[in-house]
Structures are given as C-alpha cells and as structure tokens.
Amino acid sequence: MKKTLSTAIAAALIATAMPSTVLAQEGGEDSAQEGPSPERLANLRRAGHILRSFNVALQSDQVKPQVKARLMACLYNNKLSTISVTAGNAIREGANLSDDNPTDVYRAAAGVCGITFQANGGEQAPAEGTEGN
C-alpha cells in the first residue's frame, strides 16, 4: 500500500513539474511567465465552443444519425486544436461571421468536418443528410 501511494505521489510531482520544465526548455524563463498568446487563447476558447456545440448536437434528437457519425468521426480523426484553427480561418474569411458567436463557430467547425448547410425558406438549414443543428 505504501509503495502504491509513494508511486502515485511521485507521479503527481513529476506531472506538475513537467509543464514548467518544458516551457523553460522551449523559450527560457521569460516565455514561461508571459503566458499564451492572444491567438492561442482565441483558439482555446473556440475549441471549447466547438466541443460544447458538438456535444449538444450528439445528444440532440433533432440531429440525424449520419450527421452525428460524421461529427464523431471528425473529432476522432482530427485534433480539436486543428479543427479550431481551421474553423477560425474559415470565420476570418467569411463575411458576417464572428468568433464571438457560438452558432458561427459551430457552423464553421461543422463545415470543416464536411457538413454543409443550405438555405431553407430564408432560414439557414443543413443540406439533406447532413443536418447539423
């Protein structure tokens, strides 16, 4: 029992010490104290919106199983950071899209994952077979 507890404590100490060691190796102590760049913070915030919106879509009864499968496959086959960066690029290129609007972030990320949307009577609606919201 003592050996297991000692091993767990040692592992926890190593895990907490590693991030500062890695940052110190990458760019010195100064970069470890500066924190993440604004672009990185935007990507992290966008990734949170994407994960939250995909989770809602996966739990929704209104989203078709094919769309759920595509969203899950996209999350499984790609890093969330990659989806976030690519969705951010799509938002920057699109007119009237905002990183602050969770719906725009969801639509951009769904588009990155291959889900297309089409207009339906003045409302934005997913294309047949790829209902996203």
Q: Quick check: pTM over 0.75?
A: no
What is the residue-level pLDDT of the chain in tens, covering all 133 positions?
445 544 545 444 455 544 444 444 555 555 556 788 999 999 999 999 999 999 999 999 999 999 999 999 999 999 999 999 999 999 999 888 898 999 999 999 999 999 987 766 544 445 444 444 4
Contact 132, 106 (CB under 8 A): yes
Q: What pLDDT, on a 0 to 100 scale, did the predictor assign at position 129?
A: 45
Strand runs labelled E in the chain: 117-120, 123-126
User: What pLDDT does 1 receive?
Assistant: 47
**pLDDT score at 23:** 45
Q: Please give the pLDDT value at position 120.
A: 62
CA 36 to CA 131: how far, in whole Å? 35
